[in-house]
Amino acid sequence: MSNTKKWFSLNLRNTKTANNDSCGCGKTSGACDSSTNQHNLSDADFDAAVDTSIADETPKDGFGQVFDVQMDRRSAFKKLTASLLIGAGAVSTSCSVIADDDAKEKAQIDWEEQFKGNYKLMTNDEKSATVDRLVRSYQIRTGKTISMSSKNAEEDVLFGYAFNISKCQGYMDCVNACIEENNQDRNSEMQYIRIHEMKDGKGLNFREADDNYYHEVPAEGHFYMGTQCFHCDNPPCVEVCPVQATWREEDGLVVVDYDWCVGCRYCMAACPYDGRRFNWSKPEVPEKEVNHNQHYLGNRLRKKGVMEKCTFCVQRSRAGQNPACVEACPTGARIFGNLLDPESTIRWVLENKKVFRLKEDLGTEPKFWYFMD
Amino acid sequence: MCQKMIQQFLKEAVMNRQSILGTFAVAVLFSVVFTSCKKEEHQYHTVIDKIEAESQNYQGTSISSDQYLSEINLIEITEGDHTFLIPERKSQIKSFECNECHSKPIEELKGEGHGQKAHWDLTLIHANKSTMNCATCHDGSNMDELKSLTGVKIDFNNSYNLCSQCHSKELDDWKGGAHGKRMESWAPPRASLTCVDCHNPHDPSFDSRWPSRFNTQTEEERK
């Protein structure tokens, strides 16, 4: 493999004929691009290159995803060490005559969870298997039973959101409801929603806005604007994820597999809307405040070092309910619905009110619109 | 663009190699390029295009609001093009029906010297005195129903008809779904709160109050 490269190098000296024709699909990586860079390869090399690029698209099972990848010695050793520790734990507990059945079961669950694949690539059976394991593991650890869903996106549903900036009074009831619903870290006081208090007559000036006010609201001469994850249809956060731990579902929700995320925070940097949050410490939720109605991609308990964000309350919205923020808003400033249903209220808002989105020129296509009365 | 590139590449390949293997490689490349260009995520230019195209043959979904609304007492209304559910009101009003006390017109009751027995603390903070008083909405001779400006009876369940006499813009927005609040579920059938579920008709504006949250961590970090 003489010059098979997976990266793109600038050809400044113009040694070979540059092919400036780019593919119209707008995709700057993957197969479209490889055609322009690799047509000087020998045939065998070329076939091999095609095979590798196709292999990227074919789903692998959990073991395949972990082991069937090229890696350097360092990361290979890292993976092996982590796996060996778990394996050693599993073997010692399962062979031990003193360990009780719960401990053995827990070791078994840990083992299987360690080697499960990316949720995005799982079959429905694998999804429900991992959800069952997580529920059982929680039960063994705390003695409490949670319900966790792995419900997939419904056909003919595309979720969208509208926010009325004339109506919001800045009460922040939505923020509270969101934290309780989504089991957010109480320690670092994480919140997906920010309510920005903006001065009248200054436009949408986020630099001068205050999102942590504490005085009687609505304050004279101000208006309020809420931001959260906008569930872009062309999400830059998804593009940059090096391990594909975040993706856009068929119903438009941009979700994170907390068990696949490596915590690099590229997505946080790529998001132009400050929509993503990082767990710098182990998230803590008092046991009696834990919301037991959970979804794998939604409000299940997170761990240290992973990203999370608003999911439009996937555990609620996929079951037909409004997200917690919509339900909590006392002013009716928040509207949620199915963009594909021509009779839905969200569609009426889009078609009859003067709606706008933030940073529309970026082409991120957020599915979160603002409007005024 | 794609086609152009492929054509150029085809030409090049045929001229340079002319081997069966080469053509095969081109065929593989062609299929890869072709499928990747048709990737679904790049099918639409904007999300609005996507919504328009994909809702063309919308047949409804299996998700319904029924399971969340079954416990709530609702009535169906049709206003213009919109048919939806609103909460039944009369069963929620304390001491309805009114004529259990208001058996006679107000003036006569006053004359009998009963004094103020109920809702004597009501003050009207809604428009100004020259625009509105009790009799703008209530019919002194029939307290069980409301009345429009021209004296037409309006049922307490449909009190939005009373509000919409002045607030016509709000009515339009409410019918469409831009004003007011959906109950429980985004899915059809739609149930929306009606005016009096959020606004006290005697004092309709929202109170100012303290926000329900203050983030001490953020405050700490920004010091």
Interval A261-293: pLDDT, tens: 999 999 999 999 999 999 999 999 999 999 999
Output B1 or A160, whichever has higher pLDDT.
Answer: A160
What's the rounded mean pLDDT across residues A225-248? 97
Angle between helices A101-114 and A124-142 in degrees, nearest 10:
140
The least confident of A24-33, A207-216, A228-237, B46-55 is A24-33
A214 near B CB under 8 A: yes
Same domain, B21 and B130: no
Please count the structural domains in chain B. 2
* A345·B62 Cβ contact <8 A: no
Same domain, B78 and B176: yes
Residue A4: pLDDT band with limits 50, 70, 90: low
What's the rounded mean pLDDT across residues B199-210? 95
* A154·B186 Cβ contact <8 A: no
3-state secondary structure of A63: helix
Same domain, B189 and B134: yes
Same domain, B85 and B164: yes
Q: What is the pLDDT of residue B86?
A: 97
pLDDT in tens, B1-24: 556 666 666 566 555 656 666 566
Assigned CATH for A159-371: 3.30.70.20
Cβ neighbour number for residue A294 with a 10 Å cutoff: 23
| B contact test, residue of A16, A21, A354, A362 with most B CBs within 10 A | A21
For residue A250, give the nearest of A292, A293, A297, A294 by alpha carbon.
Answer: A297
* A329·B181 Cβ contact <8 A: yes
Q: Highest mean pLDDT: which of B34-43, B135-144, B207-216?
A: B207-216
Q: What is the 3-state secondary structure (H, E, C) of A238-249?
A: HHHCCCCCEEEC
Residues in A touching B217 (Cβ below 8 Å): 188-189
Same domain, B71 and B181: yes
A215 near B CB under 8 A: yes
Same domain, B31 and B102: no
For residue B138, give the nearest of B115, B116, B162 by alpha carbon.
Answer: B162
Q: What percent of chain B has pLDDT over 70?
A: 81
| Chain B closest-CA separation from residue A371 CA (Å) | 9
What's the rounded mean pLDDT across residues A196-215? 95
Which residue ranges does chain A devote to CATH 3.30.70.20?
Answer: 159-371
Output A256 or B117, whichever has higher pLDDT.
Answer: A256
| Chain B closest-CA separation from residue A29 CA (Å) | 10
Same domain, B103 and B175: yes
Would you tell me which residues 310-339 of chain A have a C-beta closer than 8 angstroms to some C-beta of chain B?
317-322, 326-327, 329-332, 335-339
pLDDT in tens, A313-344: 999 999 999 999 999 999 999 999 999 999 99
ipTM comes to 0.80
Same domain, B135 and B175: yes
Whether B138 is covered by a domain: the verdict is yes
Tell me chain A's radius of gyration from C-alpha atoms: 24
* B211·A46 Cβ contact <8 A: no
Q: What is the pLDDT of residue A151?
A: 96
- pLDDT averaged over chain A? 87
The least confident of A54-63, A141-150, B164-173, B203-212 is A54-63
Option in A27, A171, A319 nearest B42 (CB) = A27
In DSSP notation, B156-213 reads: GGGTHHHHTTT-HHHHHHHHHTSSS-B-SBSSSSPBB--HHHHSBTTB-SPPPB--S-
A with B: how many residue pairs have Cβ under 8 Å apart? Answer: 215
Whether B206 is covered by a domain: the verdict is no
Residues A349 and B83: their CA atoms lie apart, in Å, by: 16
pLDDT surpassing 90 at residue B194: yes
What range defines the domain where residue B183 resides? 66-115+122-198
Same domain, B37 and B110: no
Same domain, B144 and B185: yes
Same domain, B94 and B148: yes
Residue A27: pLDDT band with limits 50, 70, 90: very low
Whether B222 is covered by a domain: the verdict is no
Residues A101 and B214: their CA atoms lie apart, in Å, by: 46
Residues in B touching A19 (Cβ below 8 Å): 5, 8
pLDDT surpassing 50 at residue A19: no
Same domain, B76 and B31: no
* A156·B58 Cβ contact <8 A: yes
Whether B221 is covered by a domain: the verdict is no
The least confident of A249-253, A360-364, B120-124 is B120-124
* A172·B47 Cβ contact <8 A: no
* A50·B28 Cβ contact <8 A: yes
pLDDT in tens, B21-70: 656 655 656 655 555 544 455 689 999 999 999 999 999 999 999 999 99
* A25·B39 Cβ contact <8 A: yes
Residues in B touching A358 (Cβ below 8 Å): none
